[in-house]
Chains A and B, each alone.
Chain A
Amino acid sequence: MAAVAPVVPIRKRRRRPIDSDTVTVGRSRAGTLFANLAAIGFIVVMAFPVYWVLNTAFKPSNEILRFEPTFIPNSPTFDNFKSAFNAPFFQQDLLNSVIITLGAVAGAIVVGFLAALAIARFQFYGRKAIILVVLGVQMVPLVALLIPLYLMMQGFGRTKELPGVIIVYIVLILPYTVWTLRGFISGIPRELDEAALIDGCTRAQVFWRIILPLTGPGLVATSVYGFIQAWNEFIIINTFNDQAQQNLMAWLLQNQTQRGTFWGPLMAGSILTAIPVVIFFLIIQRNIATGLTAGAVKG
């Protein structure tokens, strides 16, 4: 993308100095005011649930369990977080989450990168079929595959264990990984490969010295997205494994039914579970949409 952007100095001169990409002709002040007010309304509605979970998590339980709520905690406390962190299985499941997620991401990146390389850099019989498979399997509802997967894992004696879940998660994030990395590799000008080949590099050297370093940012973004997907999954693990072998999301699900109306710790637990995802998501947000709508937005 960067390689083909031509320099057009004339166009730059024609641009207006301020706010050049929005239309300004035919816009009234009242209209702009209305737009800004509507936008603020939208922000309030969208942000409210996020604000409310934070607000709840820092309240003592006597402040939570009443009909007329306080909009800022009167006596802020960390008790809910402590109670969630020390709840049965929380720390174990946190550790499980980390192991499962890292295992799944590492596996998917290695396997996915090789496949992406094949699709992006080689022309071979069956290439379109592979793309079709990769795009197609992303669409199949996960829950539909849960039954046969469960029976398979049961057959291998791999339920109730982490490795079984890790392998399933690798496959879960693999299609997206292949598809996104393919985009990043295609973005590297083919001329670079060719120049290196002419200068005497072998295919392997082209891979190690050109493609791998230039795909670096793509690898980071893809791993982070894989991390988010694996971290957020709870249906598979909750169905396959017993209580000692869950991840944090499944913990959150089971805690809900066990604790009933203990809203404070539940909201604090929700925050603790969501924090890694939110942080990672904010880091790579630019790359996420491009994987799903690749090619439709030309930036």
Chain B
Amino acid sequence: MSVASPSAPARPTPPGPPAPGAHVRRKRRSSTSSGLVPYALALPALFLLFALLGYPMVRMVVLSFQNMRLRELFAGLTPPWVGLDNYTKVLTDSVFWTVALRTTVFTVVSVALTVTIGLAVAMLMRRVAPSIRIAMIVVMMFVWAMPQLVATQIFRWLVDADFGVINYLLTLIGLDYESHSWFAEPLEGWAVITSLVVWAGIPFIAITLNAGLTQVPKELIEAATVDGASPWQAFRNITLPILKQLIVIVTTLSAIWNFGLFTQPWVIRDGRPSSDYQTLATYAYSTAFKTNNYSLGSAISVITVILLAAVMVFYIRQMFKIGDVD
């Protein structure tokens, strides 16, 4: 991989041995001068990453063992050490466990829905008329491009109790949804939030998987069909194994994103989500910034990251396994 690799030909064409002098010079140059160059190149980026992501991460962990309140913040005092008090407080709090469970259930449900629908749509795109396929791509591009906050505002308006079009459409088909409030019942409210997240998440998955489907050789499917395989068998035994790696990656990414859900419940509940609409991220944020309990908020964040760590390690290992990293 290195520039000095002796087996690499100097030029692909025209074939022929490279000039011996050049070869020697090239070798010497890279063995002497490349030593510090990569470090110098990477230094600014590493400095920024460590200063503004690495250090805050350490600070977050430190904070979670202290008791930082508004007084310490403004007086610039070192907050008192409290050991594991914050963690004991969080882990014995039933609200935290409810929130953690809710976040997990939401993640599982929303990721399962997004990936399943996304895969179905990707398969559908291979089957429909070309003009319809283009329309699908265009629509999905618009949805994908929509900023999260804007999408959330749109859904807030769609399900507005008094003038929302969803209530009107449901009333139109005979249900009584006039002035129906979607957020009075948490399960209904979460159905709205899940729809929003799935709606916004489908394009990434469908378009990525559709790109992956182009790798499935159609000769294989046709041969299997001729040999009497049902469409389901062809899908199960040919398409799915080829797509597997890609599906694993998009699923992992969606899980990481959805587990950190913040914007949608936060905005849709006007920045003051009741305890029924808290996720781990909004719960940590509210604890830190609404009640000025920065340490307790940090402890919740640390626990969130630990819960996510397994998925993150899995994703990074996948990226290394694919081999693109080298």
Contact = CB atoms under 8 A, between A and B. Distances in A.
Q: Do A and B come from one complex?
A: yes
B212 interface: yes
A292 interface: yes
Contacts of B162: 65, 67, 261
A186 B214 CA distance: 23
A112 B121 CA distance: 35
A185 to B, nearest CB: 11
B104 interface: no
A126 B46 CA distance: 12
28 contacts: A24-B222, A26-B226, A26-B231, A40-B132, A49-B155, A50-B142, A115-B45, A115-B46, A119-B38, A133-B49, A133-B54, A136-B312, A139-B308, A139-B315, A148-B55, A148-B59, A175-B49, A190-B8, A194-B3, A194-B11, A195-B11, A261-B162, A267-B154, A270-B154, A277-B145, A278-B142, A295-B324, A296-B245
A141 B142 contact: no
Interface string B240-272: 000001100110010010011011000100110
B62 to A, nearest CB: 8
A56 B164 CA distance: 11
A147 B298 contact: yes
Given A139-B312, A197-B29, A281-B144, 15 more contacts: A19-B130, A24-B222, A67-B163, A69-B168, A118-B38, A130-B42, A136-B316, A144-B260, A144-B301, A147-B289, A152-B59, A155-B76, A195-B11, A296-B249, A297-B212
B305 A144 contact: yes
Contact of A145 (B56, B127, B256): B56
Contacts of A274: 145-147, 150
Contacts of A257: 270-271
Nearest to B149: A249
A178 interface: yes
Interface stretch (B86-94, B105-113, B182-190, B203-211): B203-211
A32 B42 CA distance: 53
Given A170-B48, A278-B142, A297-B211, A144 B154 contact: no
Contact of A36 (B132, B148, B289, B302): B132
Nearest to A294: B324
B128 A171 contact: no
A102 interface: no
B139 A43 contact: yes
A174 B245 CA distance: 26
A194 B105 CA distance: 53
A22 B146 CA distance: 30
B51 to A, nearest CB: 8
Contact of A23 (B51, B56, B221): B221
Interface string A242-255: 00000001001100
A210 interface: no
B26 interface: yes
A146 B263 CA distance: 14
B37 interface: yes
Nearest to A44: B139
A52 B147 contact: no
A203 interface: yes
A23 B136 CA distance: 19
B149 to A, nearest CB: 5
Interface in B213-232: 214-215, 218, 221-222, 225-226, 231
A179 to B, nearest CB: 9
B302 to A, nearest CB: 8
B158 A49 contact: yes
A171 B245 CA distance: 30
B267 A256 contact: yes
A286 B263 CA distance: 26
Nearest to B60: A148
Interface string B275-290: 0000001101100110
Interface in A234-292: 234-235, 239, 249, 252-253, 256-257, 261, 263, 266-267, 270, 273-274, 277-278, 281-282, 285, 289, 292
A149 B130 CA distance: 49
B45 A178 contact: yes
A278 B145 CA distance: 5
A117 B289 CA distance: 40
Nearest to A277: B147
Contacts of A167: 48, 52
Contacts of B2: 122-123
B42 to A, nearest CB: 4
A138 to B, nearest CB: 9
A193 interface: yes
B84 interface: no
Contact of B147 (A43, A183, A273): A273
Lowest 9 A-B CB distances belong to which pairs? Answer: A295-B324, A281-B145, A115-B45, A141-B260, A122-B38, A144-B301, A148-B59, A148-B56, A118-B41
A118 B275 CA distance: 47
A69 B294 CA distance: 46
A40 B8 CA distance: 52
Contacts of B136: 39, 42-43
A171 B146 contact: no
A46 interface: yes
Nearest to B196: A49
B123 to A, nearest CB: 9
B9 interface: yes
Contacts of B149: 232, 234, 249, 252-253, 273
A289 B322 contact: no
B53 interface: yes
B11 A154 contact: no
